[in-house]
Structure 1
Amino acid sequence: MEKASVAKWEGKVSTTLTKASADQIWSLFIDFFNFHKWFPNMSICYGVHGVNGEVGGVRYCAGFSLPNEDGGAEQNSWSKERLVAVDRNELSMSYEMVDCNVGFTSYLSTVKVVRGGGNGGGGGGGCVIEWSFDVNPVEGLTYEYLVQKYQDGLDQTAMKMEDALVEKKAV
């Protein structure tokens, strides 16, 4: 008897920044072991293997707000993620989740920072951040919920990054 094949969830969200350049934003994303500085509700992120920003580097992240396999009551979600591709010319990186307690299996995500797209306010040139994911369906979640979580997370991350860069420029 054949097993029914379940389609993977594939999604992509994006946000536009007008006060920061693509290179500025890229430098924050490629700081792979320190993403907790930018991502909402992520209290911990550090390297557990390899070199920060280099293919093969593995980070441990905790504190984000996806329901977890431990019941989700304390909302202490965690994951270990490996950087599997970096294209510094295209400002793109891909990572896979190698272990977690949020039910993700066969997870691959790509972040790409696209030059332009903003109105150039503040002399930054603007950019668009695209974040895509490919994951097996997650029990207890809907595809729509997951896409919205990605969009909300990206919007908040981008705002935090842009605000920090504008503040730094003002000093």
Structure 2
Amino acid sequence: MAEEQEQEQGRRGGGAEEQWRGAVEAALPGTPACAAWRHVASFFDAHRYLPGIDVCERVDGESDGGDLVPGCVRHVASSAAGLWAREELLEADHAARRLRYAVVDSNMGFGRYVATLRVLDVEHEEDGGGGGCRIAWAFECDAVRGEGWSEAALVTRLEASVTGMAERVQQAAAAAA
């Protein structure tokens, strides 16, 4: 009951911050999940797969024999838009094909922001077509403070990002095959 009251206060602007949660996804027809995962799991290569991101650099943390270690931090930026963020890897679960990260600093108005990227197998359609995989991008965050931001605007931006990412990952996986 107290949690419901706190959430309602957040929606009305009093008390706790308003929380936004959502998920977007994009299909990669014909691309096996294991082939897509190699690219999605490249935490320090976001500039290769995310439209609008042209900078992605490791700024903190170590790797363990090439594997990602939670606590690694990357700096991502869009020079054209003048936006940047520092993002900390929270989890890299290769067996589950899942990455979790948090924005720890940015110029976009984020308070708390945590995202989970997953690569999921798609079952073959009954007619024998289809197959492949999909990228699912879930998020939860405090309401973003800043001009032009709304929960719908964030979802729209993430939909464009995951769609562009799926196209680029699919191209990279096909080129590597």
In structure 1, C-alpha distance between the alignment counterparts of 2:143 and 2:123, rounded to whole Å: 32
Q: 1:44 aligns with which of 23, 45, 55?
A: 55
- 1:57 — aligned with what? 72
SS in 2 for 1:55: coil
Whose Rg is larger? 2
Taking a change above 3 Å as real, the CA distance of residues 111 and 93 of structure 1, as seen in their structure-2 partners, is: same
What's the counterpart of residue 170 of structure 2? Answer: 162
Q: 1:21 aligns with which of 23, 32, 41?
A: 32
The worse-fitting range, judged by mean Cα deviation, of 46-55 and 35-44 is 46-55
Alignment counterpart, residue 155 of structure 2, candidates 137, 143, 147: 147
Q: Distance in 2 between matches of 1:15 and 1:107?
A: 21
RMSD of the TM alignment (CA)? 2.1
Change in CA separation of 1:143 and 1:111 when aligned onto 2, cut-off 3 Å: same
What is the aligned counterpart of 2:95 among 48, 66, 89? 89
Confirm or deny: 8 A CA contact 2:25 2:162 kept in the other structure: yes
Equivalent residue letter for 1:158:
A
- CA deviations on 1:58-80 (whole Å, 9 max, x unpaired) are 1010117xxxxxxxxx6210000
Q: How far off is 1:89 after superposition? A: 1.2
Counterpart selection for 1:30 from 41, 44, 51? 41
Q: What percentage of aligned pairs have identical amino acids?
A: 28
Residue 86 (structure 1) shift: 1.8
Q: How many residues align?
A: 156
Q: Which runs of 5+ in 1 are unaligned?
A: 65-73
Gap regions ≥5 residues in structure 2: 1-8
